[in-house]
Structure 1
């Protein structure tokens, strides 16, 4: 195969396997298209954001969205077929560089096949797999099919260097490039939620199964907090497709939440709370950057928890805690994620207490670390992708 020539646009293969990857891929593609004056083609797998940015998707991203080891095992035959389909389509297209975004169960297998078929193809991984949490041997094995990793957490380059993985550079987290929340929007939301009492933000996740498991303990926590503070207000930033199920689940709550579905209002909603209860995931980092103290809860299938527990090698599963290097943010997992324990942990954060002050200091430090690059993540990532494509073009 040969690289790009002046006769055709630059060809960039790009693969995302879930919504969070689609959210990263869209801005990266727009940045690349701007740098190249539109002289670029994109082929791969993505969702609505990447499609809007110009991606031709080989098949719908929804075909490969899976969560948890059991779900992966159940879908393995179908996933294998899609892995082969994606790899064959990209080999036939002959890209100048390939970007894989998160979803390692799928994207890394596609990348491995691409490298076997075309050893000179540059492959860049956007979002490092969690080798710092479990299966650390993956870092070294990635050297066979990944040339560079673009990390979204500031501690990951050191981890990859220590574990013998491919070159890894921190490009920043997308949550860190958002401007501060509009104070007027924050004030409006607080007024809507509660004119006089404390305001709690509740975020039970974005996937159907995690929402189902968390709505009961979250609802019990709200009931307990409302008994302590009758004027309590609740704000829930939700996605349009999750709002119906969440709205139905909150019908029996003693407090009627204020729902925020617009992406532009999400940051204001997070900043409007005095404290929050949040599902483990990227939302914990977003909440930290909004400056709202929180308690993190999570439940997964019992058998998935049994499988994962002996493999996990970190003391915290909360992204914000990992960035800070401490357990500043309380986390309640599996059987510990109960309404009583959530309420007991978040109540001091709703009030002027030493616990609240200590967490607020930690959140400020997390914000400084995440924003340390001084450049939007999509711009830093585009630099690396274009450098990789340039190396390809030098090949005979």
Structure 2
């Protein structure tokens, strides 16, 4: 059902998303808002290909901000600061009814602060919470000065905002909850999941630095595992831009993996996998929703590790553990990320061990925790955006 405001003038909504994941969220939100407003809406802002398909003409290509590494950021800092200033100026010039910033807090929050200083009455919604529950918790309270509502992807985040004194925060749902049908096996795929040789997924990461840090130790882990577990069907999931680098890295692996790229291939592999060896990150939640037991690992550079050890406040860095509320997935980070630790843990989850059964029982609770199968995250997000916009200007 469309929103009643459609009978009024067309609304102008400014959106800012500077990464591909945010671009996808922005695209879905635009669709939901257009439906709610019977098409009486105009979008402006910053976005990528997905938002462009919904009619957004981006102020600049978001690839301009795809900068990795401290040295590269320092080198490009003048350009980044100019983009922040220009984007804030564009918001003010557009005089929109609403500003929606989507993820990428290092960029979007700086824009939001500038906009709030120059146009205090403009409502601002932040879609995707910064990880205030993991590090720099003071950000939550600071956000009250320039964010009117936070749309959370993780179910525990609203309580964290209440505890930390942040702005109003509502769980709208994670986009992964809309993909469970493509991640879970049918009857035939379930038979393959339980049949020999077991399918073992290997997910070393999507960044070049992660390939550098993980491929050697993952290969040695498979060598140690093969001695005990025997034959396995190893499937390595990667990104198109990393294929050649990955092929070189697996040349000396004892078990040559099938290399799979693309979303459809990944989802098909998830549906038949017995277990997974994966780097930490959002993919752990994806595997958990698919019902694939896993062992997680992460190695970073020395500076990165030193910073992480001093600022991360959570009992786990594994997203699936945090959502479940229990550390059911073993994590081996930095110096503990060794074949001697990874191989025995993988052997356990490949068999019907207590560790495997404990993970499967925990994963079965995720549908209730994450409200899978209920209204889509973009629909919930659109409703709160419109409620915030209406509240800012009083009754219609």
Fold-level match, TM-score > 0.5? yes
Does residue 253 (structure 1) correspond to residue 278 (structure 2)? The answer is: no
Give the TM-score, by structure 1 length.
0.90
1:183-206 per-position Cα deviation (integer Å, ceiling 9, x unaligned): 469739959xx9831111111122
Q: Deviating runs (4+, > 4 A) in structure 1?
A: 4-8, 66-75, 188-191, 392-396
Bigger shift: residues 65-74 or 284-293: 65-74
* Offset, 1:108: 0.6
* Offset, 1:89: 1.5
* Offset, 1:222: 2.2
Correspondence for 1:119: 120
1:64-120 per-position Cα deviation (integer Å, ceiling 9, x unaligned): 234576765554333212111211122111221111111111111011111111111
Q: Distance in 2 between matches of 1:364 and 1:255?
A: 31
* Offset, 1:177: 1.6
What residue ranges of structure 1 are gaps of 5+ in the alignment? none
Correspondence for 1:14: 15
The answer on whether the counterparts of 1:11 and 1:97 sit within 8 Å (CA) in structure 2 is yes
* Offset, 1:239: 3.0
Task: Write the mapping of 1:95-134 to structure 2, written as runs, cut at 5 A.
Answer: 95-134=96-135
Correspondence for 1:187: 189
Correspondence for 1:281: 281
Bigger shift: residues 383-392 or 69-78: 69-78
Report SS of the residue matched to 2:43. strand
Structure-2 change in CA distance of 1:209 and 1:251 (3 Å): same
The answer on whether the counterparts of 2:178 and 2:372 sit within 8 Å (CA) in structure 1 is no
The answer on whether the counterparts of 1:153 and 1:173 sit within 8 Å (CA) in structure 2 is yes
CA-atom RMSD in angstroms: 2.7
Does residue 240 (structure 1) correspond to residue 236 (structure 2)? The answer is: no
Task: Write the mapping of 1:289-328 to structure 2, written as runs, cut at 5 A.
Answer: 289-328=289-328
The answer on whether the counterparts of 1:70 and 1:304 sit within 8 Å (CA) in structure 2 is no
Give the TM-score, by structure 2 length.
0.90
Q: Distance in 1 between matches of 2:27 and 2:313?
A: 32
Q: Distance in 2 between matches of 1:221 and 1:43?
A: 49
1:125-153 per-position Cα deviation (integer Å, ceiling 9, x unaligned): 11111111111110000001100001111
Correspondence for 2:87: 86
Task: Write the mapping of 1:153-232 to structure 2, written as runs, cut at 5 A.
Answer: 153-180=154-181, 181=183, 183=185, 187=189, 196-232=196-232
Structure-2 change in CA distance of 1:107 and 1:201 (3 Å): same
* Offset, 1:373: 8.0
Q: Distance in 2 between matches of 1:299 and 1:223?
A: 19
1:277-300 per-position Cα deviation (integer Å, ceiling 9, x unaligned): 112111111111001111111122
The answer on whether the counterparts of 1:202 and 1:277 sit within 8 Å (CA) in structure 2 is yes
Correspondence for 1:151: 152
The answer on whether the counterparts of 2:185 and 2:271 sit within 8 Å (CA) in structure 1 is no
Structure-2 change in CA distance of 1:366 and 1:67 (3 Å): farther
Structure-2 change in CA distance of 1:132 and 1:16 (3 Å): same
Structure-2 change in CA distance of 1:367 and 1:279 (3 Å): farther
Structure-2 change in CA distance of 1:7 and 1:156 (3 Å): closer
* Offset, 1:395: 8.9
The answer on whether the counterparts of 1:122 and 1:388 sit within 8 Å (CA) in structure 2 is yes
Higher RCO structure (Cα 8 Å, ≥6 apart): 1
1:315-334 per-position Cα deviation (integer Å, ceiling 9, x unaligned): 11111111122211111111
The answer on whether the counterparts of 2:184 and 2:271 sit within 8 Å (CA) in structure 1 is no
1:328-371 per-position Cα deviation (integer Å, ceiling 9, x unaligned): 11111112222332222211001111111111111112342112
Q: Distance in 2 between matches of 1:392 and 1:186?
A: 53
The answer on whether the counterparts of 2:184 and 2:270 sit within 8 Å (CA) in structure 1 is no
